[in-house]
Amino acid sequence: MLGYIVKRLGSLLATLLVASIIIFVVIEIVPGDPASFMLGLNAQADTVVALRTELGLDVSKPQRYISWVSGMLQGDFGQSYTYRSPVADMIGDRLWISLPLALYALGLSTLIAFPAGIWAASKRGRATDSIVMGFTQLGVAIPNFWFALILVLFFSIKLAWFSAGGFAGWEQGFFAAMKSLTLPAIALALPQAAILTRVMRSSLLDVMGEDYMRTARAKGLTERQALVHHALRNALIPVLTIIGLQFSFLIAGAIIIENVFFLPGLGRLVFQGIAQRDLIVVESVVMLLVFAVVLVTFLVDIAYAWVDPRLRQGRRR
């Protein structure tokens, strides 16, 4: 088991390393001179020079890369050019919005998808199954930001149960904050729940056709007992994969959703950074988001080994 974890950790670090290099190259090198890029075409020569020194652009590229990475490892994400404040602080504030939102959405979607998928699989071929499948087809086709708009139209404007946007702030208390995250989380969770339901259902159906289910029934287990004690755990394995993969879509979705609800999260930060040509901010936030995705993949891999003992010895499948 340890060997497996070490291998996966190595893979994680390697991916992060290469990703950071790519981000660095794209942001700092491709546009030519970052300083003039940031200041735009009409900048005066001396401003550009001043900025170059400030950004430390006079040292070589590999050196800049190393100081960037080592800075990040120590928690120093540089200074935002536009706001003149440490990027780390800005990220810190925003993180406490984006992260809970993502987790909230993940929790909601799993809470809906698991029972729905199991139910549909157990009633395969019958009306319930078709209805659930119909809903998931619809759920997958609905863009989450459009669903968000519809939710706002209904629940904020027509019914006034929720505010149409903005974040209450954690100082107002846990529930107030979560309330302002509820509509966004639901909007995010919908397509995820639809996908997960389908995966859960098809994974269960695959498992139910396996030979060991026949052995279980021959032992005297009822269909339900066999499903719960034997099928579920095996069915979880592909579902875990999908959750891991979907996480990156979740992050992408969260960025967009924040736009709909005017939530001051990481997504807004990135867009503002682009609009203001503040490369340092963009660089750091993108790196952070990639890190989140890779971390989740790693955790999913670990969860695999916990669920499936065949992987613990690190054998080649």
Partner 1 sequence: MSGKSDSMLSLDEVSLSIHGTPILHKVSFQLAQGGTLGVIGESGSGKSMTALSIMQLLPRGSVLTGSIRFAGQELTGLGESDLCKLRGSDIGMVFQEPMTALNPVKSIGSQVSESVRLHRDVGRREADIVAMKTLARAGLPNEQFPLSRFPHELSGGQRQRVVIAIAIACKPKLLIADEPTTALDVTTQKGILDLLKQLQHEEGLGLMLITHDLAVISSMADDIVVINKGRIVEQGHMASVFNSPEKDYTRQLFAASALTQVRRDNSAHLVKPDTKPLLVVKNLVCEYSTGSRKLFAAPRYFRAIDDASFTIHEGESMGLVGESGCGKSTLARALLGLMPLHSGSIELGGESVSSMQQVSRAARKLMQIVFQDPYGSFNPRHKVERLVGEPLHVLDEKLGAAERSRRVAQVLTSVGMCSEDRDKYIHEFSGGQRQRIAIARSLIIKPGIIILDEAVSALDVCVRAQVLELLDELAKEQGLAYLFISHDLGVVQRVTDKVMVMRNGKVLEHGLTATVFAAPVHDYTKALIAASPVLTL
Partner 2 sequence: MKWQTIVPGAILVSIVIVAALGSFLWTPYDVADLDIRNKMQTSSALHWLGTDHLGRDIFSMLMVGARTSIAVALVAVGIGMGVGVPLGLLAAARPYSWSDELIMRGNDLVFAFPALLIAILITAVFGRGSANAIIAIGIFNIPVFARLTRGAALSVWTREFILAARVAGKGAFRISYEHVLPNITNLLIVQSTIQFSLGILAEAGLAYVGLGAQPPIPSWGRMLAESQTLISLAPHLALYPGLAIVFTVLGLNLLGDGLRDWLDPRMRRER
Q: Give, in order, the Cα–Cα distances in Å from 183 to each of 152, 162, 189, 264, 265.
A: 8, 8, 10, 15, 15
Residue placing its CB nearer to partner 1 in the complex, 61 or 219: 219
Helix axes of 87-122 and 279-307: crossing angle, nearest 10 degrees: 40
Residue placing its CB nearer to partner 2 in the complex, 67 or 248: 248
Residue placing its CB nearer to partner 2 in the complex, 83 or 291: 291
Strand partners, 79: 86
For residues 154 and 231, is the Cβ–Cβ distance under 8 A? no
Q: Give, in order, the Cα–Cα distances in Å from 101 to each of 108, 117, 125, 135, 256.
A: 11, 24, 36, 24, 12
Residue placing its CB nearer to partner 2 in the complex, 35 or 255: 255
Which tokens hold the place of 268? 């807004």
* Degrees to nearest 5, angle at CA 48 with 42 and 52: 150
Residues 30-49: x/- map of binding to partner 2 (CB under 8 A)? xx------------------
Residue 26, interface with partner 2 (CB under 8 A)?
yes
Pick what 166 binds: partner 1, partner 2, none; C-beta below 5 to 8 Å, kind-dependent: none
Residue 159, interface with partner 2 (CB under 8 A)?
no
Q: What is the closest distance, in whole angstroms, from the C-beta atom of residue 291 to partner 2 in the complex?
A: 9
For residues 280 and 81, is the Cβ–Cβ distance under 8 A? yes
> Which residues make up the interface to partner 1 (CB under 8 A)?
210-212, 214-222, 229-230, 233-234, 307-310, 316
For residues 146 and 258, is the Cβ–Cβ distance under 8 A? no
Residue placing its CB nearer to partner 1 in the complex, 62 or 309: 309
Q: Which residues bind partner 2 (CB under 8 A)?
A: 11, 14-15, 18-19, 22-23, 26-27, 30-31, 137-138, 140-143, 145-146, 149-150, 152-153, 157, 245, 248-249, 251-253, 255-256, 259-260, 270-271, 273-274, 279, 282, 286, 289-290, 293-294, 297
